[in-house]
Amino acid sequence: MRSCKVGDVMTRDVVAVDEDTLYRDVVDLLVARRISAVPVVDDRGRVTGMVSEADLLRKIEYAGAGQPRIFERPARRGGRAKASARTASGLMSTPAVVVGADTPIAAAARLMDTRKVKRLPVTDEHGRLVGIASRSDLLRAYLRSDEQIRAEVCTGVLRPLLADEALGVTVEVAGGVVTLSGHLERWSSADLAERLTHRVTGVVQVSSRLSYRFDDRSAQRPSGTR
């Protein structure tokens, strides 16, 4: 079974700016391409940061503002510095949160949520930009048809796992919800079939109606435990 990777769904035709790109040119680029952020790369194509609409809006936020207050929070002082920046190197948020093309979709989604970002630059082993993955790109993995999902569950999960027993398992998929039914020899086989089916890209939920002849859960426990 092959899990879906970031490289499978990322946008390869990605636009970037260098560190010397002027503020107005970054604004024009975002408007022209209808995007909300752009990676910043050095002269070797390595990602050094990201400039978002929020970074650019600092200049409007602080327009006409006076001297910083004595007790101004560090984050606010950082915003003031961005407001006075003229090029991408001063505007960008750094370090950029990046992923490799072989990162599983689920791991990328967790990273987005943890770091509170909407897109991830994708880099090669040298840190060079090769694509970008947005939230909508990751969600594309769940646009697989029910038949595609069913085929992968049958050929990528059940047949390698259960061999001849797979012939006794019925797989139904509706709206990404997979229902497994049939009779297997062991509890452990039924349990593993359900867990591995959950990992198939596009699966929203698994309903297992698998029965088994022998409950081998006691055999799974280490010797001496209860």
| CATH number where 180 lies | 3.30.1340.30
Domain boundary among the residues 82, 109, 141 is at: 141
Helix H segments across 4-154? Answer: 6-9, 23-33, 53-61, 74-83, 88-91, 105-115, 135-139, 146-152
According to the model, what pLDDT value does residue 201 have?
85
Q: What is the mean pLDDT of residues 59-87?
A: 62
d(CA 61, CA 83): 8
pLDDT band at 40 (very low <50, low <70, confident <90, very high): very high
Is residue 75 domain-shared with residue 155, that is, in the same domain? no
Is residue 150 domain-shared with residue 131, that is, in the same domain? no
Can you give the residue range of the structural domain that contains 77?
A: 6-141
Is residue 111 domain-shared with residue 185, that is, in the same domain? no
Is the CB of residue 187 less than 8 Å from the CB of residue 216?
Answer: yes
Is residue 111 domain-shared with residue 162, that is, in the same domain? no
pLDDT in tens, 103-161: 988 889 989 999 999 999 999 999 999 999 999 998 887 788 999 999 999 999 999 99
- On whether the pTM is more than 0.75, the answer is no
- pLDDT of 93 > 60? The answer is yes
The reply to whether 225 falls in a domain is: no
Is residue 69 domain-shared with residue 96, that is, in the same domain? yes
Q: How many domains does the chain have?
A: 2
How would you classify the pairing of strands 99-100 and 119-123?
Answer: parallel
d(CA 62, CA 97): 26
pLDDT band at 77 (very low <50, low <70, confident <90, very high): very low
Nearest residue to 23 via CA among 62, 53, 44: 53
- pLDDT of 70 > 50? The answer is no
- Residue 58 tokens read as 């600092």
Asked if residue 95 has a cis previous peptide bond (ω within 30° of 0), the answer is yes
Helix (H) or strand (E) holding 193: helix 187-198
Is residue 135 domain-shared with residue 199, that is, in the same domain? no
The reply to whether 1 falls in a domain is: no
| Average pLDDT over the chain, rounded to an integer | 87
Report DSSP letters for 106-147, one per residue.
HHHHHHHHHHT-SEEEEE-TTSBEEEEEEHHHHHGGGG--HH
- High-pLDDT (> 70) share of the chain, %: 87
- pLDDT of 195 > 60? The answer is yes
Domain boundary among the residues 141, 174, 193 is at: 141
Is residue 204 domain-shared with residue 171, that is, in the same domain? yes
Beginning with the edge strand found earlier in the chain, give each strand of the sheet holding 177-186 in spatial order.
169-174, 177-186, 205-214
pLDDT in tens, 44-56: 999 999 999 999 9
